[in-house]
Amino acid sequence: MVTAEKQISATHQEIIDNYLGLLAEYVKIPSVSAHTEDAYLIEAAEFTARRFREIGGTVEILTDNPRPLVFAEFKAATTVVNPKTILFYNHYDVQAAEPLNLWKHDPFTLVQENDKLIGRGVDDDKGNLIARLTALRLYLSDHGNLPVNIKFLVEGEEEVASEHLESYLAKYADKFANDLVVWESGTKTATGKLELIGGNKGVATFNFTAHSADHDLHSSLAAVVDSATWRLAQAIATLRDADGRVAVAGFYDNIVEPTDRELELVDALDDNTELLRKAYGLELPYLTDLSGRDLNRELLFQPALNIEAFHSGYEGDGVKTILPADAIAKFDVRLVPGMDPHDVVGKIHYHLINHGFGDIAVEFTLGEKGYRSDMSDPMIANIIETAKDVYGNDKLAVAPTSAGTGPMDMFHEHLNAPIVAFGIGYPDTLDHAPNENIRKVDYLQGIDYIYEIISSFR
């Protein structure tokens, strides 16, 4: 291990410190993609490009849109026969820092406090990229050349739903070609295990709107006039059966069932039941009565229909006797592989019509498919084996998918390589929130891990 305190060389220490300094400079650039100051995004893109160039990478700044995508390539030594290619996916943009008053320090100044590094982007995603660069630099310093092709795809729109990523992936599929995508970030579990995640769920979001009259009516008319609120509540209630299963015809039809290998991996994960109960104060009937393996299987392999919002009628305190003319509900469905966003929302719309709620308008808003890598793929198997060496055999949480959503399917569709996500976070990293931070020990371990992954191709 290059960074373990006792055996660290002066050369290695200098490189690590140097890159920590670069991380501080990187954090200082407020490259908030939700803001319109594209100058900071371009500054961050150019900073990123310089980091690749200064250690011998071939760099292209792709400017098909105002927030450029930085692509870098480091070739394996010419002596390597049929070298494999790893593509690291990262991003140089960050979430906004607001609310500023909740930060203990200036969010765009990297602060070291005890064993933590604190600042906007220190985990998501500048810290991850700098850790990966540190490992690459260390490896090149030790060996002079690489046993594997390494590519970096660093976008500037990850925090704004990767608006143009798919068009880049489609257009530059040959350039980005690889044998394994390493995802931008990851975390450790509450029990200190490194998560290695091979997929994510998809999502479909949509709105229902009901409109009953030109304006709100006096509620004395309720004896003869139905309201948007009633209609919407009743329509929503038809979407689930008494057991909480989605009652929409065909909803579960095309689901790709988990393989034995996937079930085996998920069944080896920690029991999350108590964690959920305690972290959120959840009780029956709100928390499922499943637990242990069953809960994890449900969480990772089943789709879910969630109501993000339901708003109708009087918003003030006290009583206002109105019969609301309008009601809106917003939904998301977490999709598992096999489910198509438009198909699912279409089935839900058809369900409404079929149940006498054709007056309710359905608007599709966002969608992406779910994806799970083949966790038996040799490239992923190598990643897992290497992690055992670095983190310990019993310190891994390998899952074929997360419960969350991301654009993995988009990568797979265009680049056709397996994907694995891991990174330097821990449960209190606070991505997107004030006081985003990482533990320095995780950062150094992350550098080790990338170093060993590169070494594994020797």
Sign for the CA dihedral angle at 93, 98, 103, 108 comes to positive
Closest distance to a second copy from the beta carbon of 188 (Å): 18
Q: How far is the CB of 292 from a second copy (least distance, A)?
A: 12
- Minimum distance from residue 6 beta carbon to a second copy (Å): 40
* Identity of the residue, 140 or 213, whose beta carbon is nearer to a second copy in the bound complex: 213
Residue closer to a second copy by CB (options 5, 289) is 289
In angstroms, what CA-CA distances link 102 with 20, 99, 105, 118, 436?
A: 25, 6, 9, 13, 11
Contacts of 437 (CB under 8 A, 6+ apart): 116, 117, 118, 119, 122, 123, 428, 429, 430
* Residue 241: CB minimum distance to a second copy, A: 10
Smaller CB separation from a second copy, 153 or 327: 327
Give the nearest distance from C-beta 436 to a second copy in angstroms: 16
- Nearest approach, Cβ of residue 34 and a second copy (Å): 12
List the one residue out of 100, 141, 96 whose CA is nearest residue 121: 96
Q: Quick one: three-class SS letters along 319-338? A: CCCEECCEEEEEEEEEECCC
Output 274 or 314, the one with its CB closest to a second copy.
314
Give 159 or 452: the residue with its C-beta nearer to a second copy. Answer: 159
Nearest to 271 by CA among 288, 296, 246: 296
Dihedral pair phi/psi, residue 67, rounded to 5°: -100, 100
Query: Could you report how far apart the first and last alpha carbons of the chain are, in Å?
Result: 16
Contact in structure between 228 and 215 (CB atoms under 8 Å):
no
Neighbours of 347 (CB within 10 A): 17
- Token representation of residue 62: 């792709």
CA distance 349 to 363: 9
Residue entry with tokens 């976070």: 425
Least Å distance, CB 204 to a second copy, is 10
| Smallest separation (angstroms) from a second copy to the CB of 218 | 7
Give the burial class of 313: count Cβ atoms within 10 A of its Cβ; 0-12 exposed, 13-18 middle, 19 or more buried: middle
Alpha carbon 217 to its chain's center: 45
CA 235/CA 13 separation, integer angstroms: 63
318 burial level (CB within 10 Å; 0-12, 13-18, 19+): exposed
Cβ proximity to a second copy: between 299 and 383 the closer is 299
Nearest to 93 by CA among 163, 150, 151: 163
Looking at beta carbons only, is 35 or 240 nearer to a second copy? 240
State the minimum distance, in angstroms, from the CB of residue 101 to a second copy. 19
Q: Min. distance of Cβ 245 from a second copy in angstroms? A: 11
Neighbours of 68 (CB within 10 A): 24
Q: How far is the CB of 182 from a second copy (least distance, A)?
A: 22
